[in-house]
Amino acid sequence: MHILVCDDEKLIRDLIKEYVENEGYTCDEATDGEEAVELVEEKDYDLIIMDIMMPGMDGMSAVKEIKQIKDIPVLMLSARKEEYDKLQGFDLGIDDYVTKPFSPKELIARIKVILKRNGNEDILTCGNITIDHVSHDVKIDGKSVDLTSTQYDLLTLFITNKDVALTRDKIIEKVFGYDYEADDRTIDAHIKLLRSKLGKYRNSIKTIRNVGYKFVYEE
């Protein structure tokens, strides 16, 4: 999933980015409406989180332009609670409206509802790596890659926990189950095989000495 966050407040962008990336989504940032429109023209997004009050082009104007370019779900943010803003947003075709200050967990829940409603919940993306949980298909740079079920589960775990160091015990628990008996060499062998399937992205799986592994997307 590729999400665009547009807000002139860096702290808000950083907060949202941290939470959406912890869910396994990739995230781009825009500081105003004009920048958001430019990014939409260049890239494809599964969801846009758009603030209303911004210098330059505001959120409403940006959404109006974006909807003329691509039909992308929009979750609107606002520090104001006026009903007029909500009605205007929904008239423009936004999917949901959240008032600041907001709970990050509630925001994530609303994001998942929107993605599910638009049929995107079952697609996990990280850069040019895409995992389709419906077809159980993995594509790298647009080409299907043949993975075993274990390799598929490992890659899903890594991308869902991008930039998070995972211990070998945690990997065993999440991929194989509590009762699975395996030593470090077994896990290392599975990782080695997965790396061989990732081509130029093989170095995205980093070995963390005395800990385990971490997935850091690198082209």
Residues 146 and 99 in one domain: no
Residues 67 and 108 in one domain: yes
- pLDDT band, very low/low/confident/very high, at 194 (cuts 50, 70, 90): very high
Mean pLDDT calculated for residue range 146-170: 90
Residues 82 and 138 in one domain: no
- pLDDT band, very low/low/confident/very high, at 121 (cuts 50, 70, 90): low
CATH number, position 160: 1.10.10.10
Q: Is pLDDT at 164 greater than 90 in this prediction? A: no
Residues 52 and 159 in one domain: no
Residues 19 and 113 in one domain: yes
Residues 109 and 153 in one domain: no
CATH number, position 32: 3.40.50.2300
Which of 117, 150, 182 is at the close of a domain? 117
Residues 8 and 110 in one domain: yes
Q: What is the residue range of 195's domain?
A: 128-215
Residues 110 and 138 in one domain: no
Average pLDDT, the chain: 87
Residues 154 and 202 in one domain: yes
Residues 17 and 91 in one domain: yes
Give a yes or no: residue 163 inside a domain: yes
Residues 136 and 60 in one domain: no
Give a yes or no: residue 32 inside a domain: yes
DSSP string, the chain: -EEEEE-S-HHHHHHHHHHHHHTT-EEEEESSHHHHHHHHHHS--SEEEEES--SSS-HHHHHHHHHHH----EEEEES---HHHHHHHHHHT-SEEEESS--HHHHHHHHHHHHHHTT-TTEEEETTEEEETTTTEEEETTEEE---HHHHHHHHHHHHTTT--EEHHHHIIIII-TT----HHHHHHHHHHHHHHSGGGGGGEEEETTTEEEE----
pTM of the model: 0.58
pLDDT digits (tens, 9 = 90+) for 13-72: 999 999 988 887 889 999 999 999 999 999 889 899 999 989 889 999 999 999 999 889
Give a yes or no: residue 83 inside a domain: yes
**Domain tally for the chain?**
2
Give a yes or no: residue 122 inside a domain: no
